[in-house]
Amino acid sequence: MHKTIHTEVAIIGAGTAGLYALREVRRANKQFVMIDKGPLGTTCARVGCMPSKLALHAGAIRQQINTQAATPLALPNLNQTWATLREQRDTFTDRAIKTTQAAAQNQLITGAARFLDPVTIKITQDNITTLVHAEKVIIANGSRPAVPGWLEPVREYTVSTDEIFELKELPSSIGILGLGAIGMEMGLALSRLGVRVVGADLSSAIAGIGDPLINQQAIQRFGKEMELWLGQPTAVSLAEKGVLLQSGNRQIKVDLLLAALGRRPNLDALNLQEAGFPLNEKGIPVFNPHTMQVEGLPVFLAGDCTSSKTLMHEASAEGSIAGFNAVQNHPVAFKRMVPLGIAFSDPDIFSAGASKAELDKHNIITGLAEGGSNGRARILSEADSLLHIYADAENGTLLGAAGMAPHAEHLAHLLAWAIQRGETAVSLLQMPFYHPVLEEMVQSALQDIVRQLPHKPAWPFGLAPVNHH
């Protein structure tokens, strides 16, 4: 059976980016169709942000009980904990599915989309072929975990983040390949739940940390909870009921492997090249990050499929830009937010604004604050907390920050907002800092910057005279 649909806007992908795009299209009262191959429920809710944070939370509770109980308590069986996590996760997914169905208003087409040309999309599902001719198209079809071919010999004992939350039985030991934010979060969650974890990465940095001192501190801290094999390749081979990991002179057999080796955009399934899209060397359509428009076409990109800022808040912002611009005669170029990244590693690792590696070391000042000098961090037994703030060496304008501290999700936001607002070390110091709080680490790092400025204010730290401009 064949069906042909003519519409104003077609959105491919009902994930976070697609749903934000849809909101803008509906606000403009345009005709639309939304196409998704399923399952619905968004990566964030089903296999991403939410279940990973639930796992970390479960791990933290178990760790607390284990360390504080005078006598061993009967803890729930680990597989039971994982099943509970799945149930909690399903509440997020179910809500996302309901939101999608309500928002799509019977205009949801189920099936995998392929382009015939940039505004003609073919969807085949259950012997029904639908051809959609759209005036504008939004591509928001997300990404999938990378499971490279060299893992094929051990695939039977390998899971991706799409699969790990579905396990009915957790292993006694697990190897984690790839220690970016996702690999570190999953490794720490599982280790705190009682699984033996060995994490390996070719890079010497964990959680994508771009500041060598913070990285060193984080390795010292988290190396106590999971074995970390860094800076060398790790070979994998089949062992009896598991996988043998080998790196340098180390080797260990684990029951299961988690491939946390990054994510691939799903664009390769869309037949883009043959349909006439201008592609870069990575196979991504050439697009403007301020309008999200693909060069020369009435097509917009949003979310993980762009392969650039693969985070939920960026997917929603890009979806809004793409949706808004798809219903304009002339696309509007929008400002993008400063980068913000958080690993919920407890203590959390974060970066806000530019990373140290991106900045010219001759033109910046780094302000340092250590948990050992912060009352709150010491009360919380988190004296190894560390914060770096990078500022322009001439005028103290804040450019970036990175750190490791308890609940640093909050410090990360505070600093990202200050950087985006164009605050300087002097202006931010004029804000109130309560005592004893972790924010006093920000105060200390800012004071450290001001001490290094070539032109220091005449006033005491944090003060500005009335009527002074």
Ligand X SMILES: Cc1cc2nc3c(=O)[nH]c(=O)nc-3n(C[C@H](O)[C@H](O)[C@H](O)COP(=O)(O)OP(=O)(O)OC[C@H]3O[C@@H](n4cnc5c(N)ncnc54)[C@H](O)[C@@H]3O)c2cc1C
Rule CB under 6 A: is residue 140 a binding residue for ligand X?
yes
Q: Rounded distance, CA 13 to CA 21, Å?
A: 10
3-state SS class at 256:
strand
Which residue of 315, 369, 398, 402 would you call a contact of ligand X, by CB under 6 A?
315
Nearest distance in Å: CB 282, ligand X: 16
Stretch that binds ligand X, among 37-45, 206-214, 408-416, 421-429 (CB under 6 A): 37-45
- Backbone angles phi and psi of 83, in degrees to 5: -70, -40
Rule CB under 6 A: is residue 310 a binding residue for ligand X?
yes
Nearest distance in Å: CB 184, ligand X: 11
Q: Rounded distance, CA 391 to CA 290, Å?
A: 26
Rule CB under 6 A: is residue 428 a binding residue for ligand X?
no
Record the tokens describing residue 401, joined without a space: 């920050």
Which residue of 6, 95, 313, 456 would you call a contact of ligand X, by CB under 6 A?
313
Stretch that binds ligand X, among 43-51, 211-219, 283-291, 346-354 (CB under 6 A): 43-51
Rule CB under 6 A: is residue 389 a binding residue for ligand X?
no
Rule CB under 6 A: is residue 15 a binding residue for ligand X?
yes
Rule CB under 6 A: is residue 47 a binding residue for ligand X?
yes
Which residue of 217, 266, 443, 444 would you call a contact of ligand X, by CB under 6 A?
266
Q: In the block, which residue shows the tokens 């029904």?
A: 128
Rule CB under 6 A: is residue 351 a binding residue for ligand X?
no
Rule CB under 6 A: is residue 182 a binding residue for ligand X?
yes
Within residues 151-170, the interface with ligand X by CB under 6 A covers: 161
CB nearer to ligand X: give 81 or 444: 81
Nearest of 293, 445, 440 to residue 368 by alpha carbon:
445
Rule CB under 6 A: is residue 337 a binding residue for ligand X?
no
Beta-strand pair 398-405/227-230: unpaired
Beta-strand pair 340-343/235-239: unpaired
**CA dist list (Å): 308 to 74, 143, 263, 315, 321:** 45, 11, 11, 10, 15
Which residue of 37, 62, 192, 376 would you call a contact of ligand X, by CB under 6 A?
37
Rule CB under 6 A: is residue 97 a binding residue for ligand X?
no
Contacts of 389 (CB under 8 A, 6+ apart): 366, 367, 398, 400, 401, 415, 425, 442, 445, 446, 449
Q: Rounded distance, CA 203 to CA 345, Å?
A: 18
Q: Which residues bind ligand X (CB under 6 A)?
A: 12-18, 35-38, 42-44, 47-49, 52, 112-113, 140-142, 161, 182, 266, 269-270, 303-304, 310-313, 315
